[in-house]
Chains A and B, each alone.
Chain A
Amino acid sequence: MNFDPWTLGFQAVNVLVLVWLLHRFFWTPVAAMIAERQARAATLLDEAEARRAKAEAHLADIEATHAAIGAERDAMLAAARKDAEAARDALIDAARAEAAALHDTAKDARVRAAAALKATAMEEAQGLALTIAGRLAARLDGASVDAAFLGWLVQGVRDLSDADRKALTGAGLELVSATLQDAEAQDHISAALSDALGTPVTLRFRADPGLIAGHELHSPHFTLRNSWAADLDLIAAALKADDPHRNAGAISDAA
């Protein structure tokens, strides 16, 4: 067993040289590469984090935009719904107004039609009454009827005031009958009227079948009606004066 100081020195120097060489060619380059990779990784991570933050910000913007669009859509839908409801209400009101107008128009038309129908009916009734009266008068004894109407005419003259009777005597009187009176009947009528007026009168006789029956006394300023046609006219006038209210009330109730 020996111990060589030269070898000790050689080995010490060898190891020192090896330390320097490996420091130069191995440890430092590899450590630098590791540090560079770590730095690059850190940089990449930072960039990735920045991009992720940017992406999240964009995502937040997009979500906010979506929310705004959603809110705007809801507002537009609400406005459209409100407009539609307003339009519907307007249409309903217009339809109601139109229906009311149509109803009123129809009611007026129905009232007018009813009034026209009634007027027509009245005219037809008057015509029918005239026809009935004419046929009835034709079937009655003409002399008796003439006598009755003459009596009523004389009584009517007597019921006049003295001034009226005096006015009748001063003017040309015309006696209108339903049938043409013969001479005997004219004399009888003239005598009866002279007696009623209290003075002799001269009469002109004329026939008017429209009177149906009876005698009427006409003067230039005065007419004393005393015929069936006059009575029917009075009745018709009375019906016209009374019926419109009654008929209108009945139509209103029916409406």
Chain B
Amino acid sequence: MDSPLQSIPLFMAGPVPIMPAVVTTWAIMAVLVLAGVLLTRRLTLLPSAAQAAAELLVGAVDQQIRDVTGAPPAPFRAFIGTLFLFILIANWSSLIPGVTPPTATMETPAALAALVFVSIIFFGVREGGLGGFLRGFALPNPVMIPLNMLESITRSFSMFVRLFGNVMSGVFVIAIVGSLAALLVPIPLMALDLLTGAVQAYIFAVLSMVFITSAVEKGAPEPGPEPGPEPALETEES
């Protein structure tokens, strides 16, 4: 018996194996892009129900970014929002029979964590420059540089492991229970998997935002001292 963690390529594109997770990701991408195009095709000032739902989603993402960063959400909206939507739909794709969520394989969470790691560097460098970003590793003092560098890797790695472990375990549990009693019994576990998938998507997005914000704040140039009241000119007449 093959390990459930073992991925078998669907087909080979030359020397490149195309795994089911990649195909599922393409399908999810198609669905999301198509839905986005359809939703934004006829935007009006008086929104329809679908447009209102889309605006509600965008507003919620913006508000979440604003709460975490305290900055305008536009620069981070697309990345954080897309992470959340993709992970959510990927996690929930386990409800479709015969579909293994892409996040239940190691490559997809690892790719997402790698993108977050890169985005942290990108936003940090963009905010404070390369020097500012690197100086952030020396905070609060240079002794912390190795630990800070290690932390920047481990926190992305922890995101990868957390997402992969939660989704994969859910899939495993449902698969095991389904093999024992396939009728009706897995339904509560599937509902729990829905909740877990939403929570994991939210956690991944929020942690990404927190890490990016941390890098941005550390890389930002330190503000100068508050300008105090100008000293009064004293003239002494001698």
Interface residues of A (CB under 8 A from B): 1-4, 6-12, 14-23, 25-31, 33-34, 36-37, 40
Asked whether, in the complex, the Cβ of B22 is within 8 Å of the Cβ of A11, the reply is yes
Q: Inside 8 A of B40's CB, which chain A residues have their CB?
A: 25-26, 29-30, 33
Asked whether, in the complex, the Cβ of A37 is within 8 Å of the Cβ of B45, the reply is yes
Q: 25 A-B Cβ contacts within 8 A?
A: A1-B106, A2-B6, A4-B19, A7-B7, A7-B107, A8-B107, A9-B111, A11-B108, A11-B111, A12-B111, A15-B86, A19-B83, A22-B33, A23-B77, A23-B78, A26-B37, A26-B54, A27-B58, A28-B78, A29-B43, A30-B54, A30-B57, A31-B62, A33-B45, A37-B45
Q: Inside 8 A of A10's CB, which chain B residues have their CB?
A: 18-19, 22, 25, 107, 111
Asked whether, in the complex, the Cβ of B55 is within 8 Å of the Cβ of A34, the reply is yes
Asked whether, in the complex, the Cβ of B39 is within 8 Å of the Cβ of A26, the reply is yes
Q: Inside 8 A of B198's CB, which chain A residues have their CB?
A: none
Q: Inside 8 A of B138's CB, which chain A residues have their CB?
A: none
Interface residues of B (CB under 8 A from A): 3, 5-7, 16-19, 21-22, 25-26, 29, 32-33, 35-37, 39-40, 43, 45, 47, 51, 54-55, 57-59, 62, 74, 77-79, 81-83, 85-86, 102, 105-108, 110-112, 114-115
The CA of A15 and the CA of B7, in the complex, are separated in Å by: 20
Asked whether, in the complex, the Cβ of A7 is within 8 Å of the Cβ of B22, the reply is yes
The CA of A29 and the CA of B114, in the complex, are separated in Å by: 28
Question: B31 to nearest A CB, angstroms?
Answer: 11
Q: Inside 8 A of B111's CB, which chain A residues have their CB?
A: 8-12, 14-15
Question: B115 to nearest A CB, angstroms?
Answer: 6
The CA of A215 and the CA of B103, in the complex, are separated in Å by: 180
Asked whether, in the complex, the Cβ of B77 is within 8 Å of the Cβ of A6, the reply is no
Q: Inside 8 A of A26's CB, which chain B residues have their CB?
A: 32-33, 35-37, 39-40, 54
The CA of A20 and the CA of B105, in the complex, are separated in Å by: 23
Q: Lowest 9 A-B CB distances belong to which pairs?
A: A26-B36, A23-B78, A11-B111, A1-B5, A7-B107, A29-B40, A12-B111, A19-B82, A33-B43
Q: Inside 8 A of B112's CB, which chain A residues have their CB?
A: 11, 15
**Additional pairs, 6, CB under 8 Å, beyond known A10-B111, A22-B78:** A10-B19, A10-B25, A19-B79, A22-B33, A23-B77, A34-B59
- Least CB separation from B25: chain A residue: A14
Name, among A14, A22, A28, the residue most crowded by chain B CB atoms within 10 Å (CB to CB): A22
Asked whether, in the complex, the Cβ of A7 is within 8 Å of the Cβ of B115, the reply is no
The CA of A22 and the CA of B83, in the complex, are separated in Å by: 11
Q: Inside 8 A of A6's CB, which chain B residues have their CB?
A: 16-17
Q: Inside 8 A of A16's CB, which chain B residues have their CB?
A: 115
Asked whether, in the complex, the Cβ of A25 is within 8 Å of the Cβ of B25, the reply is no
Asked whether, in the complex, the Cβ of A11 is within 8 Å of the Cβ of B106, the reply is no
Q: Inside 8 A of A14's CB, which chain B residues have their CB?
A: 22, 25-26, 29, 111
Asked whether, in the complex, the Cβ of B29 is within 8 Å of the Cβ of A21, the reply is yes
Known: A12-B115, A17-B29, A34-B55. Contact between A22 and B105, CB under 8 A? no
Q: Inside 8 A of B105's CB, which chain A residues have their CB?
A: 7
The CA of A36 and the CA of B79, in the complex, are separated in Å by: 22
- Least CB separation from A16: chain B residue: B115
Task: State which of B19, B36, B110 has its C-beta within 8 Å of the C-beta of A22.
Answer: B36
The CA of A34 and the CA of B43, in the complex, are separated in Å by: 10
Asked whether, in the complex, the Cβ of A30 is within 8 Å of the Cβ of B17, the reply is no
Question: A37 to nearest B CB, angstroms?
Answer: 6
The CA of A16 and the CA of B43, in the complex, are separated in Å by: 25
Question: B112 to nearest A CB, angstroms?
Answer: 6
Known: A1-B5, A15-B111, A30-B55. Contact between A22 and B22, CB under 8 A? no
Name, among A3, A6, A30, A34, the residue most crowded by chain B CB atoms within 10 Å (CB to CB): A30
Q: Inside 8 A of B37's CB, which chain A residues have their CB?
A: 25-26
Asked whether, in the complex, the Cβ of B115 is within 8 Å of the Cβ of A21, the reply is no
Known: A7-B17, A7-B105. Contact between A31 and B77, CB under 8 A? yes
Q: Inside 8 A of B32's CB, which chain A residues have their CB?
A: 18, 21-22, 26
The CA of A71 and the CA of B115, in the complex, are separated in Å by: 79
The CA of A234 and the CA of B96, in the complex, are separated in Å by: 163
The CA of A8 and the CA of B160, in the complex, are separated in Å by: 12
Q: Inside 8 A of A12's CB, which chain B residues have their CB?
A: 111, 114-115
Asked whether, in the complex, the Cβ of A8 is within 8 Å of the Cβ of B110, the reply is yes
Q: Inside 8 A of A11's CB, which chain B residues have their CB?
A: 21-22, 25, 102, 107-108, 110-112
Asked whether, in the complex, the Cβ of B33 is within 8 Å of the Cβ of A34, the reply is no
Asked whether, in the complex, the Cβ of A27 is within 8 Å of the Cβ of B81, the reply is yes
Asked whether, in the complex, the Cβ of B36 is within 8 Å of the Cβ of A21, the reply is yes
Q: Inside 8 A of B26's CB, which chain A residues have their CB?
A: 14
Name, among A11, A21, A36, the residue most crowded by chain B CB atoms within 10 Å (CB to CB): A11
